[in-house]
Amino acid sequence: MTVVLALLASIFIGISDFLGGTASRTRSPLETSVVVFVVTLVTLVPIALLLGARDLTVHDAGLGAVSGLPTSVAYVGFFTAIGRGRMSIVVPISAAVTALLPAIVGIAEGNVLSTVALGGVLCALVAIPLVAYETDEGEAAAGDGWSPARQVLVSILCGVGFGIYFICVGHTHRGSGLWPTVASLVVAIAVLVPLAARGGVLPAVASLSRLAVAGGVALGLADVALTTALQRGPLTIASVLGNLYPLVTIALGVAVLGERVRSWHAVGIVLAVVGVAMIAAG
């Protein structure tokens, strides 16, 4: 069951990233983020109530709430970068940094990385320049989109934001159920809705992006599947399989949007995914 849940989590996360990023190519990334978060919350709360929580504390809820601000900023940046760049750059780099940050914090707390995890860190570091490298022809073809260098910088910053979420949730009790994630979503929505209203991009119900709505549902289901897998199954298996989502997003980008993946990009993407999986396994 753990294997199935973790794989489902990767599929749903990959789909959510693709749908949200695609929506951000025609809608404001801020608007897309608001819709995704609200729909995710609506999807998640009934399931959280159904699953319950054996050991929810103020500490757990507080950690989830603290992660809401960096998560909200990271999602807006992530969708903006995908909207103006290439999924094959943004997704693997942000995923690699997301995995690296908790590992760095673990070292600071006195943990010793295994040989597998150290190998994963090396893979992730090598993957970033490979994924980011672009020929002059490729850069010119980008048109009015972001340069590869800018996509890399924003992807790294987004990875830091996502990594903070994982660090915070990783320090909660497993018995807290889905409620730390619910707290994170509530804070993220409280941050983004006023900004969207002020910027004139707060969507009306009748004009909601269907892609963003579908992305929110997918993210809610992903949260349920991954949290359940982490709580009920072997941590290594759940972590590794749950971090394969970049392959899903990139495959959709190639198949649906016709994104071009050169040979060195493919090597970099594989290294990034392998690095994320090795760090999670370590």
Q: Which domain holds residue 242?
A: 2-196+208-281
Each residue's pLDDT tens digit in the chain (282 positions)? 778 888 899 999 999 999 999 999 999 999 999 999 999 999 999 999 998 888 889 999 999 999 999 999 999 999 999 989 989 889 999 988 888 888 888 788 887 778 888 898 898 888 888 887 765 555 544 445 788 889 999 999 999 999 899 888 888 888 898 999 999 999 999 999 999 999 999 988 888 999 999 999 999 999 899 888 876 766 566 667 777 888 899 999 989 988 888 888 889 889 988 888 888 777
Which structure tokens are listed for 179? 């409620």
Residue 7 lies in a domain: yes
Residues 6+ apart with CB under 8 A from 125: 275
Which structure tokens are listed for 169? 């949730």
Distance CA 264, CA 271 (A): 10
Q: Are 64 and 235 in contact (CB under 8 A)?
A: no
Residue 203 lies in a domain: no
CA distances from 233 to 6, 28, 174 (A): 9, 39, 12
State the pLDDT at residue 143.
43
Residue 103 lies in a domain: yes
- pLDDT tens-digit profile of 181-227? 999 999 999 999 999 999 999 988 888 999 999 999 999 999 899 88
Total domain count for the chain? 1
Residue 265 lies in a domain: yes
Residue 202 lies in a domain: no
- pTM score, whole prediction: 0.87
